[in-house]
Each structure stands twice: as C-alpha cells, then as structure tokens.
C-alpha cells in the first residue's frame, strides 16, 4: 500500500513493482503519474486514514509505505500499526510531524536546535502559549524582543523564521529581520497549517545540508550528505541539491552523530529519514528539522543511488514489508545533482549544461507551462533536471 501518487512518489511505485509487489496507491485524484503506474489506484485523500485502513483490512498488504511527505507519514504509521506491520508508531508520528513537538523533544534530549515559540492567529492578533493559555503578542522594537502583554520576555531576538507547525515543502515560510510583517507572516503560516498553528524560531546562520539515513530495529545507518540551495530570504524555496556535499571529514562526522542522536529522540526505529541541518562557519551543527521519511525533491529516490550506490527506495520497501535491512553498495557516480526550474532563464541554463557535456543528463521532468503565477513554494516549481558527473 503506497500513500501518495505524485511524481516524487512514482519511483516508490515502480520499485515495489520491480520487486514483485502488487501496488495499491491512495491519493486525491488529480491526474498524477501514480494513478497510471499503480496496479490499483484509489481516489482517496491521503488524510482519510480510517477509510484507507478499511480498504487495507480487506486486502491484507505486506507493507504500508510513502516517501517525501510528512502528511503521508501520519497515515502510514496509523494504518501499518493497526495491521501489525512494520512502522514507527504513534509517538514518532507525534514528534516527527509537528515542528513544535519536535523542538520540545530536542530541547529535552539535548539535541542542538533553534529557540522557538508556538504561535497562532486569533481574532486578528498573533497569540502565543504561556502556561497552557493563549496570550496576545506585542513587539518591543527597541529591544528587538518579543514580549507579551504582561511585559515578560519571550526570549526570541530578530531575525526569526515563521513556519507552519505541520507542513513541508517551504509552504508558508517567512524570514523576518524585524517586527514589520510579523502579523502577515504568522497569518500566512497558520493558513497553511492543518492545526492553524505556527512556530517562530530564531534564524540560524550557516550553510544548509540534508542528511539521509536508513534505520532498522533502532539502529541508524548514514547514507548521504546533501548540499542544499535555496532562493534565500524570505521563503527559502529549494532551487537544487548536490551529492555528496563537499565538507571536511570532521564536520561530516559531527553531522552524522548529531542527527543519529536526534533520530533516537524522535523514536525512529525503521525506514528512511531526512534531516535538515545548518553548519555555522565555526562548524557548529544545528538541527532545523527531521522527517521520518525519505527526502522529497528526488533526493532519496535518485540522488542517493546515483551518488552512493545504495538502493534507498528498495531498502525502504523491504523494511516496510518486514524484510531485514541489506546495505549493499553498487557502482555509482562521483556526483549527482538536481536543478529546479523557476523561470524561462532556467530552461536556457539547462540547455547550456546539456550542450557543455560535462554533466550527463539522468532525467528531465515534464515541464509545467509558464503561466506567470510565480513559484511560491516547492509544490509549484515548473520542473527539474537531474544530472551526474564522473
């Protein structure tokens, strides 16, 4: 049973079929590629976990799995647990799909992460929790600190990042260098959130990386370190990724240790994980967030096997279906990268890269027409190109 049918989920569908499994795919029907590559497609939203469970009970699947979606993780763990299949369980769901709960868990367990506040948009005002109650936020510009109506310092200095507690793909994210725009940023983030809540976090300086692990019986195995490129402030939409990230060995080892410890904090026992970290110029590692699922943007499905030789998707399928982990490294390229299309100029750059011949084209996605809407988050980029280099 595969939760999700988008282009990023399609490698999972194809890999499961390659391994001899019959694929039953659930997603909102919108013409996605998985509707056609699946053996059986069900036009059921991935949030309708009770309905999906009911269908699964009648079929008796070997495993339930998804890649690249925090929203799908909720349904995967819910359905798999009730069917007695391999999964990470409800505590992992609580911690790994809610950024506020994740931050609290990191703080309790000594995992390095930004200072934060849970906020909401209530009656036209920004509100935050204090002692379980919601209080209005005011901003004291001269001290650049958030303070509540009782004059108590909330402890967050600008710049800050505002983001929904329960979304991924750069949806609803805004960087604020000062109090101006706070209300609009919180309102926008809460509008994207299923819980209508957001977190305000201190902004951490440094280079941004993602970290891919595979876990089996609470043991975590590092696969790849990825360098991330974004549009920068204010929304930080990913423009591309490259593997392996060129960092000193000491930094790479520190990243591995920090993320592995945090996976224990989040109760990750099985399957893929995708951590996002920042490394300061001094080498300090800070966890931005960790998903108990494979990274989107073709990082896990394409870049990892191309640059490391590990069949990340195949291992994820095997673990979900109750098979032991087999870490087998096949032949691979020296480097793999993905570039996303934001404008016609990006298409021209793609063509120039192809003609230069230094990089070999692995795959070019279908391109959406340039309709002038602009790219507002990762879900509405126009397309991408994956290349390798030896």
Q: Write the pLDDT tens digit of every residue in 52-62.
A: 999 999 999 99
Q: Which of 52, 51, 55, 90 is nearest to 74 (CA)?
A: 90
Task: Specify whether the CB–CB gap between 255 and 285 falls below 8 A.
Answer: yes
Q: Which helix (H) or strand (E) holds 91?
A: helix 89-96
Residue 143 confidence (pLDDT) above 60: no
Instruction: Look at 126 and 12; give whichever has higher pLDDT.
Output: 12
Structure tokens at 198: 């957001």
Q: How confident is the model at residue 140 (pLDDT cuts 50, 70, 90)?
A: low
Cβ contact 4:10 at 8 Å: no
Asked if 93 and 76 touch (Cβ cutoff 8 Å), the reply is: no
Q: Report how far residue 59's alpha carbon sits from residue 24's, in angstroms, rounded to the nearest whole number.
A: 9
Strand partners of residue 385: 339, 364
> What single DSSP character describes residue 380?
G
| pLDDT higher than 70, residue 139 | no
Question: What confidence score (pLDDT) does residue 148 get?
Answer: 63
**The predicted structure's pLDDT at residue 7:** 87
- pLDDT at residue number 131: 63
| Distances, alpha carbon 195 to alpha carbons 66, 100, 112, 169, 176, in Å | 22, 11, 25, 17, 22
In this prediction, residues 356-384 reach a mean pLDDT of: 88
Percent of the chain with pLDDT over 90: 74
What average pLDDT does the chain have?
Answer: 91
Q: What is the pLDDT of residues 220-272, one digit of tens each?
A: 999 999 999 999 887 789 999 999 999 999 999 999 999 999 999 999 999 99
Q: Which two tokens stand for residue 130?
A: 């204090």
Distance set, CA 346 to CA 226, 229, 363 (Å): 21, 14, 16
Q: What is the pLDDT of residue 130?
A: 66
| Cβ–Cβ under 8 Å, residues 302 and 215 | no
40-42 sheet: strands from edge to edge = 2-3, 24-26, 40-42
Three-class SS of residue 307?
A: helix
For the stretch 303-342, pLDDT in tens is: 999 999 999 999 999 999 999 999 999 999 999 999 999 9
Name which of 274, 270, 275 is nearest 315 in CA terms. Answer: 270
Q: What is the pLDDT of residue 145?
A: 63
Q: What's residue 122's pLDDT?
A: 82
What tens digit of pLDDT does each residue of 53-98 get? Answer: 999 999 999 999 999 788 899 999 999 999 999 999 899 999 999 9
Query: What is the number of residues in the chain?
Result: 390
pLDDT digits (tens, 9 = 90+) for 167-205: 876 788 899 888 888 889 999 999 999 889 999 999 999
Q: 89-96 and 99-109 helices cross at what angle (nearest 10)? A: 100
DSSP state, 306?
H
Reading phi first (left if > 0) and then psi (alpha if -120 to 50, else beta), residue 144 is in left
| 289 touches 277 (CB < 8 A) | no
Q: Count other Cβ atoms within 10 Å, centred on residue 19.
A: 13
User: Can you tell me the mean pLDDT for 363-367?
Assistant: 91
Q: What is the pLDDT of residue 235?
A: 79
Q: What is the predicted pLDDT for the residue at 200?
A: 92
């Amino acid at each position: 049973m595969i939760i999700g049918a988008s282009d990023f989920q399609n490698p999972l569908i194809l890999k499961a079929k390659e391994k001899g499994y019959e694929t039953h795919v659930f997603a909102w029907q919108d013409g996605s590629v998985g509707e056609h590559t699946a053996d059986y497609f069900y036009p059921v939203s991935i949030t309708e976990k009770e309905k999906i469970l009911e269908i699964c009970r009648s079929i008796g699947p070997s495993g339930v799995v998804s890649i690249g979606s925090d929203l799908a993780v909720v349904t995967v763990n819910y359905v798999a647990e009730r069917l007695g299949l391999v999964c990470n369980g409800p505590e992992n769901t609580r911690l790994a799909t809610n950024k506020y709960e994740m931050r609290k868990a990191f703080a309790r367990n000594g995992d390095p992460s930004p200072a934060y506040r849970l906020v909401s948009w209530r009656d036209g005002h920004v509100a935050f929790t204090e002692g379980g109650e919601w209080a209005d936020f005011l901003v004291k510009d001269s001290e650049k600190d958030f303070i509540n109506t009782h004059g108590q310092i909330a402890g967050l200095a600008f710049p800050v990042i505002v983001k929904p507690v329960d979304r991924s793909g750069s949806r609803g994210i805004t960087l604020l260098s000062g109090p101006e725009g706070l209300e609009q940023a919180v309102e926008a983030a809460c509008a994207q959130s299923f819980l209508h809540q957001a977190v305000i976090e201190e902004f951490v300086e440094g280079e941004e990386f993602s970290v891919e692990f595979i876990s089996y019986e609470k043991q975590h195995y590092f696969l790849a370190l990825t360098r991330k490129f974004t549009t920068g402030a204010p929304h930080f939409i990913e423009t591309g990724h490259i593997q392996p990230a060129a960092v000193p060995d000491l930094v790479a080892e520190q990243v591995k240790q920090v993320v592995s410890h945090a996976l224990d904090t989040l109760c990750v026992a099985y399957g893929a994980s995708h951590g996002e970290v920042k490394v300061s110029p001094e080498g300090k590692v800070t966890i931005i967030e960790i998903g108990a699922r494979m990274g989107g943007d073709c990082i896990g499905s394409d870049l990892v096997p191309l640059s490391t030789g590990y069949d990340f998707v195949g291992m994820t399928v095997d673990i979900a279906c109750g098979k032991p982990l087999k870490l087998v490294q096949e032949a691979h390229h020296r480097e793999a990268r993905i570039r996303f299309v934001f404008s016609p100029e990006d298409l021209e750059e793609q063509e120039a890269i192809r003609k230069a011949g230094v990089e070999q084209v692995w795959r070019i996605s279908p391109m959406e027409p340039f309709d002038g809407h602009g790219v507002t988050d990762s879900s509405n980029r126009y397309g991408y190109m994956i290349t390798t280099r030896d």
